[in-house]
């Protein structure tokens, strides 16, 4: 199958290297969790960090949820932070794009689109599946 975009192969190669590094990194709330890994990818691709205002502000799941609630819920928070960095919503996410998806065990989580589906940072590395998409952004 032919690539849709001449830069798509470059995105895939960079994404594979990024995901390998992040898979080895320990899951830590507030520094290496699903939200911040997704934001790290945005920063690596476009040089802007949608989660800059959240970094270092929580260290537990409960602390993360306080910010989510304060910012209006997962979707409202994601839309606000991503729009604030200039990311556009897409109805057709491609490899390298990011999104908010529904994980069957934990609910809404931020993820990165890869060739096999949505990749979500987990304590074991990455969980990858065709999770239902709530909203996605072009990166």
Task: Classify 64 as helix, strand or coil.
Answer: helix
Is residue 59 one of the residues assigned to a domain? yes
Residue 57 lies in a domain: yes
Query: Is residue 3 one of the residues assigned to a domain?
Result: no
Whichever domain contains 82, its CATH number is 3.90.1720
Domain containing residue 39 = 8-138
In a domain, 112, yes or no: yes
Query: Using alpha carbons only, what angle is made at residue 132 by residues 129 and 134, rounded to the nearest 5 degrees?
Result: 130
Q: Given a cut of 80, is residue 110 above it in pLDDT? A: yes
Q: How many domains does the chain have?
A: 1
- The tens digit of pLDDT for each residue in 25-41 reads 999 999 999 999 999 99
Report the predicted TM-score, pTM, of the whole model to 2 decimal places: 0.89
pLDDT digits (tens, 9 = 90+) for 38-84: 999 999 999 999 999 999 999 999 999 999 999 999 999 999 999 99
């Amino acid at each position: 199958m032919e690539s849709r975009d001449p830069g798509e192969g470059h995105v895939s190669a960079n994404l594979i290297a990024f995901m390998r590094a992040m898979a080895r990194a320990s899951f830590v709330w507030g520094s290496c969790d699903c939200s911040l890994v997704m934001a790290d990818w945005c920063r690596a691709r476009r040089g802007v960090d949608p989660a800059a205002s959240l970094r270092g502000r929580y260290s537990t799941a409960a602390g993360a949820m306080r910010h989510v609630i304060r910012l209006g819920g997962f979707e409202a928070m994601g839309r606000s932070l991503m729009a604030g960095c200039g990311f556009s919503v897409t109805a057709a996410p491609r490899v390298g794009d990011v999104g908010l998806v529904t994980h069957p065990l934990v609910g809404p989580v931020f993820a990165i689109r890869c060739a096999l589906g949505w990749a979500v940072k987990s304590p074991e590395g990455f969980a990858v599946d065709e999770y239902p998409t709530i909203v996605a952004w072009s990166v």
